[in-house]
Amino acid sequence: MCARKTWLPAAGLVAALSFVGIAGCENTQRRDGIEPTYEEAALSQFIQANYKAADALLGAPTASTSNFSKDSGGSMLVATLADINRLEQSSALGRLISEHLSSRLAQRGRSVVEMKLRSNVFVRNDQGEFLLTREIRELAREHNAGAVVVGTYTDGNTFVFVSLKLIDPASGIILSAHDYALPMDRQVRQLVTKR
| Residue 112: per-residue pLDDT | 93
Q: Which residues of 26-37 are buried (b: 16+ CB within 10 A; e: fewer)?
A: eeeeeeeeeeee
Q: pLDDT of 97-143, one tens digit each?
A: 999 999 999 999 999 987 764 544 444 444 555 555 566 677 778 88
Q: Is 6 a residue whose pLDDT tops 90?
A: no
Q: pLDDT of 166-176, one tens digit each?
A: 998 888 889 99
Task: Enumerate residues 6+ apart whose C-beta is below 8 A from 169.
Answer: 77, 136, 137, 139, 140, 141, 145, 146, 147, 148
| Residue 105: per-residue pLDDT | 96
Q: Is 17 a residue whose pLDDT tops 50?
A: no
Residue 152: phi and psi, rounded to 5, are -135, 165
Q: pLDDT of 145-188, one tens digit each?
A: 889 999 999 999 899 999 999 998 888 889 999 999 999 999 99
Q: pLDDT of 30-75, one tens digit each?
A: 356 789 899 988 988 999 999 999 999 998 654 333 445 544 557 8
Q: Which is it for strands 129-130 and 122-123: parallel, antiparallel or unpaired?
A: antiparallel
Residues 25, 173: Cα–Cα separation, whole Å: 54
Residues 42, 170: Cα–Cα separation, whole Å: 39
Q: Of 45, 44, 51, 50, which is closest to residue 108 (Cα–Cα)?
A: 51
DSSP 8-class letter at 116: G
Q: Which is it for strands 122-123 and 145-155: parallel, antiparallel or unpaired?
A: unpaired
| Residue 144: per-residue pLDDT | 83
pTM: 0.72
Residue 172: phi and psi, rounded to 5, are 80, 5
Residues 188, 154: Cα–Cα separation, whole Å: 12
Helix intervals (H) in the chain: 2-33, 38-42, 46-59, 92-107, 133-142, 186-193
| Residue 131: per-residue pLDDT | 55
Q: Of 2, 48, 13, 56, which is closest to residue 164 (Cα–Cα)?
A: 56
